[in-house]
Structure 1
Amino acid sequence: MGVEFGLLGEVTARVDGRAVDLGPVRQRCVLAALAVDVGRVVSVDRLVERVWAPAVPRRGAATLHSYVSRLRRVLAVADTVDIVHRSGGYALVVDQPEPAVDLHRFRDLCARSGADDVALLTEALGLWRGEPLTGLTGEWAEAERVRLRQEQLSAEHDLVDARLRAGEGGELVVELSARTARYPSDERVAGQYLLALHRAGRSADALEHYERLRERLAEQLGTDPGAPLRELHRRIVAADPALSGPTPSDPTWPGPPGGRAAEPVAVPRQLPAAPQHFTGRDRELAALTTALDDAAAGRTVVISAIAGTGGIGKTWLALHWAHRHADRFPDGQLFVDLRGFSPDSAPMDPAVVVRGFLHALGVEPARLPVDAHAQTALFRSLVADKRVLIVADNAADAGQVGPLLPGGASCTVLVTSRSRLAGLTAGHGAHHVPLDVLSDDEARALLSARLGAGRVRAEPAAVAELIRLCGGFPLALGIVAARAHTRLDQPMATLAEELRDLGLGALDDDDPTASLPAVLSWSYRALPPDQATAFALLGMATGPDIDLPAVAGLTGLSPRETMTVLRGLEQASLLTRDNRGRYHMHDLIRSYATTTARRELTEQAREAGLRRLLDFYTHTAYAAARLLHPDRPPIRLDPPVPGVRPHPLPDVPAAMAWFDAEYPNLLAAQHTATTHHWHHAVWQLAWTLGTFYQRRGHLYDQLAGWRTGLAAAAHLPDPATRVVAHRHLGLAYTNLRRHEEAIGHLREAIALAEHHQDLLQQAETHRVLAGAFELSGDDRKALDHSIRALDLFRALARPVGEADALNDVGWYAARMGEYETAREHCEAALALYHRHQDPAGEAASLDSLGYIAHHTGHHAEAIRHYQQALALYRRHDNTYFAADALADLGHPHAALGRPEEARAVWREALELYRAQGRDADVERVQRQLDALDGQGDSGATD
């Protein structure tokens, strides 16, 4: 049943559209105080202060408890909301806060808008129904109303800016006239009003209003208008034509820059290597440079769309130009192959591309917003004022590119596509750069660069025929040149005769699919048998690229033989290798290779190649996963098929590097296994990726991978596979805070494990279920499940699992205030961890013991425990938990009257939290520092 809370007007609650009675004013005030901080614990003391200050009754806490009990009964009819008691206070828990609480929906819409989306800002402001928290009295309600009204006003200002950027003007005059009357000294409002008047043809009125404001500021504050407003006034006086259209995002515009995100911490350099032997394209290069220069002079974003048929050299041109002008983009270069016309995969989802760009810009996976629109807004905020080049290669259509376009005016976007992308030209003012075949002179220069000028001059007639037969297509010319280079003893006339016999003259047609297969078949026929077979198999390989060990697995050749084959294909221009040593095929070449595999190889040979490749990926990934998490219960794999040599990985850094490089291929391998109904491989690949999903924060891929894994497990005879799949799917849902689905799958895993009397799976699942209940706000159930896990691990004689569960029990008991029980279990966990040489576990249990000691008044002991945990975290380069230990360490220092020590560790924690993008922790620690400073040296408590 759906529930909605209204705060932006009278405080209300509606269940399935029907209003419910929230009781007296004080009771409604309790609900409002919790709803403002939905999902977070509000301490009892703070709630009492919010409801009754300044006249707090003697039994305020008891009365508060009574109000909460009544509210829980009122809200019990809705199954998506609850008021839960947590350590020290209460929290309003709602499945989806943004749609349920109008205030949080308002903030979400404003954040997603990036201060530049008219529709979202209009929708956000439409949620207001008058003064917020109408009907509530008291100091907190009054202060909160003032703060919320400021948020509303800021959104109203953002909406006017957005409408001005969209080109409006005269339509805003009446609204802005009233607003300037309310805020006569606000320079932001004044700038908006001046621009609206100017666009309405009332420039004289705009200049008069500026003079009145200047005089008012001089009289009241003794100052002049700020530089942005003065510059806007100058441009109105000069009748700057740029002010008549959408407002440029430049320093002279008095509105705020469009973005609220933190500065990026990385400068990406994603351009692939510059192409060798680049020839011609002078006109197109000049057009791209002119567009960039014009944009810089006019302070507008430049978007250039290079369009042409496949094999025409679009990427070749884009990369050459990008490398030539890379110095003009000091804040980085982003590159993505959108695979818009890939023969073996669907075009890339723009949301996936945006997540990749955010990672390249230094955004930690844990900091990524959940909503795709919010991710796009964050990307645009990060690059809004930066000089970044974005190269989007091989786009399917304008819709695929739109979410990748920055909102500011300082970036440059270079798009290549086989389509003309009219939508980009019409909707975003993109510069259309059509790419045709090379001229005869350019084609001759290309052959001279590849083969040497002397050889080309020696046979002008043969070279002329080769150029004619290739039709000016760079790809075809490259293949011809590669073949000629390997036949130094043959005259060019022989090559021309062979091309003529194969019918390559059809390349004069604009459609390369009618002729390029002839060129590719000619190249394929010239290959030795081992290279021809490898070429066909590579057309079937999963993923966007491949490395030498994987090719060896695909072909069944030795590493030495594989290297020889790959070198031959690279020399024949059928394969390219990047600076990481990974191999790629052009879309058209790969399409031809796939067709060749179906035509030349038997079904048995094709299936055997794919089986070898999947075996290679599965066994190497399994070894990598065991390095990352050696205590994880292993699974059984059949030996690899003959010809497969898993890639050796010596240590954890090597395992992580391999996963990083092969991650897209592993996802593609699981998809291939799914389409072939190879259920064991589907499930095993999901298992091998489990730890990597967690460490890298690939939460959505984790969810998709285990959904597929669960479907595959339904076809497998071992019931443990279904238990593991349900457990990992429950963990994936837990990570995404989708508690109902998480707990449903985890309970299914428990039921299956109990039915099959699998005690180990029961124990592992109870631990995950405990974590799910903790995140959903139910510490009691979390404690119950951790106790059951402990009993099972003990029965199984699994000491590391027992230590994990002991620490879990101690932690949940401590959160509930049961400190003696907590200390006993955490000390036992510490001893077990130490005995079995598990430093990560030791650090976790020391951290728990520090929490217990501090909350029982043993502050010196707490400091010792936290410092020991911190040392272990630092020794193993675990900055994530080191930040938490530092934040915790400040509390006992403050309690012992050591404000300088507390301030030092909290400042260090604050810097780590900021670097990790943990905004909520940043706010929490900053509040602690502010409180410490406000108390002088009298101490601070948590």
Structure 2
Amino acid sequence: MPTEDASLSDLGEALRELRRRQARRDGERQLTYRELAERTGWSHGIIGEYFAGRVLPPTDRFDLLIRLLGATPAEQGALATLRDQVEEQRRRGDQRPRELPAAGSGMVGRDAELSELDAMLTGNAPVVISGMAGIGKTTLALHWAHRIAARFPDGQLHLNLHGFHPEGAMSAGEALNTLLSSLGVAAPRIPQDLEARAGLYRTLLQDRRMLVMLDNAADAEQVRPLLPPAGCLALVTSRGQLTGLVVSEGARPLSVDVLAVDDARRLLAERLGAGRVERDAAAVERIVTACGRLPLALAVVAARGALNPAFSLDDIAGELDGSGATSATETLADVRTAFSWSYRLLRPDARRLFRLIGLHPGPDLTAPTAAALGGLGVTRAAAILAELAQARLTVEHRPGRFACHDLLRAYAGELSESEDPAADRRAAVDRLLTHLVHAAGATTLVLDPLRKPIGIPAGEPPATVTRPADEVAAMGWFRAEHRALLAALDLAVRTGLDRQAWRLAWGVVVALERDGGWQDWIAVQTTALRAAERLGDPAASAFSHRSLSVGYARLGRTAESRAHALAAYELFLQVDDPAGAAVCQHALAFTSETEGRWAEAITHAERALALFRRAHDPVGQARALNSAGLYQAELGDHDAALDRCGQALRLQLGMGDLGGAAATLDSLGTIRHQLGDHPAAIGHFREALALFARQGDRIGQADTLGRLGETQRAAGDVAAVRQSWQQAVTLLEEIGHPGLAGARARLAALDRQS
């Protein structure tokens, strides 16, 4: 029955219970999916998806299904409400995230700043906390965010924008992608266009009360698209004052200074013990002065003293006196002095791993990544990361994920430059890239088991690599490592490891496709193509050209798509790869199809089919058969079209190629429409939509909805037409597709006519 948090799995369970109850009531076995398929005219495969809770049945199908299963009129109404709740929650991405990291016990003082922040709650303007690195901005912001969280019952979002990371700040587009994911938007539904992405973000937050903490911002331009609408609060931290936000958005600024002297003493007392601090008050004063009352420096010194209770504070102060720093600015410039105390107390292998962390290009790392970097076992790497966190040289900001403050990362890099031989540094980078190449490859093969593993090096993967258990785990790994993977690609190019760069690009394309990351796809494959050309590897160049053709086609840039497909085709022929050449011909057929050149399209499709047969590639053969059938229908040969598409569908269902089956069902719907068999056409289109949705293919859904609407109009159901075409417009809006204007015009014309 309906609940506030209804889910698709709840709906599947409700259907399964109806099926079980009907069998108990009638004293018979449960109806099989094939029997239900015979009664409804739907495929037994899609019925299985409905019962498994993986695909949301359309309203008309759901109503028919629950009636067939014996739901009473009252139950029909309740179940229809449940289905509508699931659809609404999926549409709105209805989530209540609670993402604020723990505030911890690290803040001392700041009473005046907290009072100022409390006063800023009277309006909806963003709050900007600024100050130098290590001053405690994030600690203050987190403490205040937890203090006011109850005022924002719809949840809290938290995002580190990495404004001053050595590899560059997070882009606004990437930040929006992460925020939308936190709001429950499925990755394939996130728009490509930055403005559309920001619009969806604001729409989801409209009429909500949410707190959005944007930590470590680079500048106002990075933050502006991430600001939530009225009713929500944006809390931003940055080393800069973000004057642009103050001027244009009315942001309320708070500048954070060093700790007061008494608060600096209290920080040391809380971490070292009040008695110890009171017994050596003179040494404490020297420590406070030497650290310039900078919280980060004080925390590192306190960690050293806490880990070594036998050390006298006078000895620690003596070491500090040698740094010569007398102010916060000087301490910041020479903060490596404070860091060095904790560093020197580490065991040799921990010191070495800390230094090598400076080579890692991503925002954070895990034990397997650290193990690869250091040439260690994963268990030992995990122990060292915990040791580094205890010494305040890293922080476990998410379970199992460790990050360094930017100043500590820079310090680690400096140490590695001075202490590690160039050959050792190069070996560490090579181990890291090898780990990521194999891990990305393992993820790809989980997502697409039929994919040829051309981007995975021969031999066993490193011991640091674990194959994801399923597709959910694979996509979770990719999303967590997304920034690190793209940064590693650039690192490989910078260090002259072009083969690793190309392999990394190969390893991420399937996940990028699942997430609809076509802009990243094009950037990655452009980098890979240049690497392949430097390697003088025509097969690798052919693959990258072909991938670029796909990316440009997805964005509607047909001229660039055709140019890359032709370049790839010639290269595949050069290296005697008929399957690769066939895919290029298939891509060219698709480009001709989008331009309405049917005779040219069928020529490309027939060439692709011949090449796929030569390569003994059944997946490719089925897709080429489908394309050829569709084009034959456009040229008027419907019998041949039905035959070819029928062959294709049988092959695809037999292999479990759901994406290919969706396209073929769409083609069959088109052919049946042309023959005037509207009920059969509508049935094929609906089955195609369900499979496209399961694959996360928004373009496929939008195209099929357009054709479904045409069939519904021919059948005289104007209300259904409007619903189908509005859904198509919504999907195209989400991805900023070039066909959006045409889809809107089509819908507007329908409204004028009716």
TM-score, scaled to structure 2: 0.78
> Of 435, 450, 470, which aligns to 2:291?
470
Query: If each structure's helix is expressed as a fraction of its own residues, which one has the higher value?
Result: 2
Partner of 1:810: 629
CA 1:886 to 1:770, structure 2 compared with 1: closer, same or farther past 3 Å? closer
Following superposition, the deviation at residue 576 of structure 1 comes to: 0.4
Following superposition, the deviation at residue 827 of structure 1 comes to: 1.0
SS at 2:535 equivalent: coil
Is 1:666 matched with 2:482?
Answer: no
Q: In structure 2, what residue type is equivalent to 1:827?
A: G
Q: Which structure 2 residue ranges, 5 or more long, are not aligned?
A: 1-90
1:423-457 CA-to-partner distances (Å, cap 9, x unmatched) read: 44455444332211112322233234334445444
RMSD: 3.6
Q: 1:707-786 residue pairs with structure 2 within 5 A?
A: 707-786=526-605
Following superposition, the deviation at residue 509 of structure 1 comes to: 3.8
Q: Which 10-residue stretch deviates more, 516-525 or 776-785?
A: 776-785
Partner of 2:496: 677
Following superposition, the deviation at residue 291 of structure 1 comes to: 1.7
Following superposition, the deviation at residue 918 of structure 1 comes to: 5.7
User: What CA distance in whole angstroms lies between the structure 1 residues aligned with 2:711 and 2:225?
Assistant: 48
Partner of 1:50: none
Q: Identity of paired residues, percent?
A: 40
CA 1:444 to 1:748, structure 2 compared with 1: closer, same or farther past 3 Å? same
User: What CA distance in whole angstroms lies between the structure 2 residues aligned with 1:771 and 1:464?
Assistant: 74
CA contact 2:670–2:707 (8 Å) conserved in 1: yes
Partner of 2:162: 339
Partner of 2:211: 389
Following superposition, the deviation at residue 356 of structure 1 comes to: 4.3
User: What CA distance in whole angstroms lies between the structure 1 residues aligned with 2:459 and 2:347?
Assistant: 28
User: What CA distance in whole angstroms lies between the structure 2 residues aligned with 1:381 and 1:744?
Assistant: 38
CA contact 2:698–2:731 (8 Å) conserved in 1: no
> Of 424, 437, 442, which aligns to 1:605?
424
Partner of 2:24: none
Q: Which 10-residue stretch deviates more, 448-457 or 785-794?
A: 448-457
1:257-305 CA-to-partner distances (Å, cap 9, x unmatched) read: xxxxx97755554433324332211111111111222x2xxxxx42333
User: What CA distance in whole angstroms lies between the structure 2 residues aligned with 1:399 and 1:851?
Assistant: 46
User: What CA distance in whole angstroms lies between the structure 2 residues aligned with 1:507 and 1:820?
Assistant: 88
Following superposition, the deviation at residue 590 of structure 1 comes to: 0.5
User: What CA distance in whole angstroms lies between the structure 1 residues aligned with 2:714 and 2:655?
Assistant: 35
Is 1:305 matched with 2:92?
Answer: no
> Of 522, 527, 543, which aligns to 2:341?
522
CA 1:636 to 1:917, structure 2 compared with 1: closer, same or farther past 3 Å? closer
Following superposition, the deviation at residue 930 of structure 1 comes to: 7.2
User: What CA distance in whole angstroms lies between the structure 1 residues aligned with 2:130 and 2:654?
Assistant: 65
Q: In structure 2, what residue type is equivalent to 1:280?
A: G
Q: 1:73-152 residue pairs with structure 2 within 5 A?
A: none
1:800-819 CA-to-partner distances (Å, cap 9, x unmatched) read: 21112111222333345432
Is 1:483 matched with 2:312?
Answer: no
Partner of 2:52: none
Partner of 2:72: none
CA 1:302 to 1:720, structure 2 compared with 1: closer, same or farther past 3 Å? same
Partner of 2:469: 650
User: What CA distance in whole angstroms lies between the structure 1 residues aligned with 2:97 and 2:314?
Assistant: 47
Is 1:686 matched with 2:505?
Answer: yes
1:435-486 CA-to-partner distances (Å, cap 9, x unmatched) read: 1111232223323433444544454444444333323211112112222232
User: What CA distance in whole angstroms lies between the structure 2 residues aligned with 1:872 and 1:353?
Assistant: 30
Partner of 2:102: 273
Is 1:445 matched with 2:266?
Answer: yes
User: What CA distance in whole angstroms lies between the structure 2 residues aligned with 1:860 and 1:388?
Assistant: 46
User: What CA distance in whole angstroms lies between the structure 2 residues aligned with 1:314 and 1:575?
Assistant: 17
Q: In structure 1, what residue type is equivalent to 2:175?
A: V
User: What CA distance in whole angstroms lies between the structure 1 residues aligned with 2:207 and 2:155?
Assistant: 12
CA 1:338 to 1:464, structure 2 compared with 1: closer, same or farther past 3 Å? same
Q: In structure 1, what residue type is equivalent to 2:131?
A: G
Q: In structure 2, what residue type is equivalent to 1:540?
A: L
Following superposition, the deviation at residue 844 of structure 1 comes to: 3.6
Partner of 1:832: 651
User: What CA distance in whole angstroms lies between the structure 1 residues aligned with 2:635 and 2:186?
Assistant: 32
> Of 80, 89, 112, which aligns to 1:283?
112
1:192-217 CA-to-partner distances (Å, cap 9, x unmatched) read: xxxxxxxxxxxxxxxxxxxxxxxxxx
Is 1:570 matched with 2:396?
Answer: no
SS at 1:577 equivalent: strand
User: What CA distance in whole angstroms lies between the structure 1 residues aligned with 2:326 and 2:715?
Assistant: 83
Following superposition, the deviation at residue 354 of structure 1 comes to: 4.4
CA contact 2:702–2:732 (8 Å) conserved in 1: no
SS at 1:766 equivalent: helix
Following superposition, the deviation at residue 863 of structure 1 comes to: 5.4
CA contact 1:314–1:416 (8 Å) conserved in 2: yes
CA contact 2:525–2:547 (8 Å) conserved in 1: yes
SS at 2:523 equivalent: helix
CA 1:782 to 1:632, structure 2 compared with 1: closer, same or farther past 3 Å? farther
CA 1:276 to 1:807, structure 2 compared with 1: closer, same or farther past 3 Å? farther
Q: In structure 2, what residue type is equivalent to 1:435?
A: V
1:302-338 CA-to-partner distances (Å, cap 9, x unmatched) read: 2333222211111111121122212323455444433
Q: 1:314-393 residue pairs with structure 2 within 5 A?
A: 314-342=137-165, 344-361=166-183, 372=194, 375-376=197-198, 386-393=208-215
SS at 2:564 equivalent: helix
Q: In structure 1, what residue type is equivalent to 2:253?
A: H
CA 1:264 to 1:837, structure 2 compared with 1: closer, same or farther past 3 Å? closer
Aligned residues: 659
Q: Which 10-residue stretch deviates more, 418-427 or 791-800?
A: 418-427
User: What CA distance in whole angstroms lies between the structure 2 residues aligned with 1:642 and 1:735?
Assistant: 33
TM-score, scaled to structure 1: 0.64
Following superposition, the deviation at residue 706 of structure 1 comes to: 0.8
Following superposition, the deviation at residue 548 of structure 1 comes to: 1.3
Bigger radius of gyration: 1
Is 1:584 matched with 2:406?
Answer: no
User: What CA distance in whole angstroms lies between the structure 2 residues aligned with 1:484 and 1:688?
Assistant: 46
Q: In structure 2, what residue type is equivalent to 1:285?
A: L
